[in-house]
Structure 1
């Protein structure tokens, strides 16, 4: 089924592409003001997503298609400079997941991102930090049942995710 708003899908996908370009730019290619540019992209994307949400509600599968719905989640995931909006997006995404209009895995990541920002342990073990001790998963509640919660959200087991994260980020 074609999305109802392909124009919004195109915008969300373009914004996701720029988000990822900023985040994945090799250090050697980063200009001196890269961090400021990166933050400006995040702020602009947050404002754009807010406008979409205000006008249409959560941009789920029916409105923009699966790939652009995932792009909307990514923009919300990176809206940490506006925690009030990020929490609003979380509630809207949760409602969309409940009716099958968004991906439960995306919701799991945003739940964890919001909880970490709020100083709470995460639920699904999706958030990592790199510090003086290296790469490590942020604290998680009830670790004995982590893989059960991950499976319910459509996520791979923690051990597989942890190995993938280390392969991606310990070299960087």
Structure 2
């Protein structure tokens, strides 16, 4: 039986902040990269990054014990979009990794954040969770050692790379479901589905 998070007020705030950015993130998943850096949604991402930083400084990663499953997922969604603030994204990545080691955060979500941070800092991704729009739809950003990609993905509980890409293409081709599309899968910036 799930226990009540220690800080349900933080959970509510994280969920509120992430939900406030949902429409922006949903639009980003369908825009070419050159169009993703503009608009008021980026201001929301910047404000959310500052909010998340304050939580990390005070509590560490807002994991399931601290803010519950929904609050932890909202924190992860915010961390994925700290793109202009790689200092905050890197701190989130490190703190989330500690929580994964304690068993209080999702290794699958951590892998998405790891890849996002790698791309934002000029490195290749390890788990193949980050995509961009190409001339024929979504395509995976380059990965380190592509022959071992599915082995690494299995280690962090992700589906096979080909299955994930197929699912992403299906999801982007489907009519919008609205804010509820965020049920466990990152959409913005073509973060992928697993």
- With structure 1 as the length reference, what TM-score do the two structures score? 0.88
* C-alpha contact 1:94 1:107 (8 A) present in aligned 2: yes
Structure 1 CA distance for aligned equivalents of residues 26 and 135 of structure 2:
22
Structure 2's unaligned 5+ residue stretches are 31-37, 176-194
Aligned-pair distance for 1:25?
A: 5.3
- Determine the structure 1 residue equivalent to 2:191: none
Indicate the structure whose relative CO is greater, using CA pairs within 8 Å and at least 6 residues apart: 2
Please state if 1:136 is matched with 2:139.
Answer: yes
Structure 1 CA distance for aligned equivalents of residues 92 and 60 of structure 2:
9
Structure 2 CA distance for aligned equivalents of residues 9 and 97 of structure 1:
18
What is the CA RMSD across the aligned residues, in angstroms? 2.1
Q: Give the one of 24, 36, 61 matched to 2:26.
A: 24
- Determine the structure 2 residue equivalent to 1:64: 67
- Determine the structure 1 residue equivalent to 2:116: 113
* C-alpha contact 1:80 1:86 (8 A) present in aligned 2: yes
Which is worse superposed, 139-148 or 1-10?
139-148
Aligned-pair distance for 1:168?
A: 2.8
* C-alpha contact 1:135 1:170 (8 A) present in aligned 2: no
- With structure 2 as the length reference, what TM-score do the two structures score? 0.79
- Determine the structure 2 residue equivalent to 1:80: 83
- Determine the structure 1 residue equivalent to 2:40: 37
Aligned-pair distance for 1:21?
A: 2.3
- Determine the structure 1 residue equivalent to 2:150: 147
Structure 1's unaligned 5+ residue stretches are 28-34
Please state if 1:167 is matched with 2:170.
Answer: yes
Structure 2 CA distance for aligned equivalents of residues 86 and 20 of structure 1:
18
Q: What does the per-residue CA deviation read over 1:92-125, in whole Å, with 9 as the maximum and x for residues that have no partner?
A: 1111101111000111001100111122111100
- Determine the structure 2 residue equivalent to 1:31: none
Counting matched residue pairs gives 166
